[in-house]
Amino acid sequence: MQIHAHRLDVRQVQSPYQDDRPDNDIDLIVIHSISLPAGHFSGNYVEALFTGCLDTSCHADFEDLAGVEVSSHLFIRRSGEVIQFVDFDKRAWHAGESRFGDRIRCNDFSIGIELEGTDHNRYRDVQYDKLITVCRLLIDEYSIPRGNVVGHAEIAPGRKMDPGPTFNWQRLKNGLERI
């Protein structure tokens, strides 16, 4: 499924870093944060990373990204632009080593949404508005329990911190309760 079918303005950019899910039992949404270089916004480096086109020699922060194959279903920029890299029925490579409850390999059954930001920058109102809209559509389409919208930190504790302490979980929860 592509979200543009729901009349949300989404730019489609295909990532090579995806594959088939082992089954189509999607019941988790994982919220991430990303900026490249760290703390810099509005460039095209995240898009380049998710499409395998990042020149890792162009910035010292990118050295650790050489050979990394990573993607997300969606990327919500600070401007509110939404980019879809992977169809929701496909598996994006966003969660890494992960666990939700008694299930491992969260990429198999989750949808990954990246917010342009860092663990310590506040997210913008337009990002919350788009995130709430997207989550509501996904919850409805896939019958995802509202409690199954989590941060990367929750499925990879000790390894990840995103979306970070400035993320307003109550605002997201309030927006989702209006379903």
Indicate which residues carry an active-site annotation: 114
Note whether 12 and 4 are within 8 A (CB): yes
Scored b (16 or more CB within 10 A) or e, 54-78 reads bebeebeebeeeeeeebbbbbbbbb
Per 3-state DSSP, what percentage of the chain is helix, strand, and coil (rounded to 5)? 30, 20, 50
Note the Cα 13 to chain centre separation in Å: 14
Note whether 46 and 34 are within 8 A (CB): yes
- The CB-side HSE value for 40 (13 A sphere, CA atoms) comes to 10
Count of beta carbons in the 10 Å neighbourhood of residue 22: 11
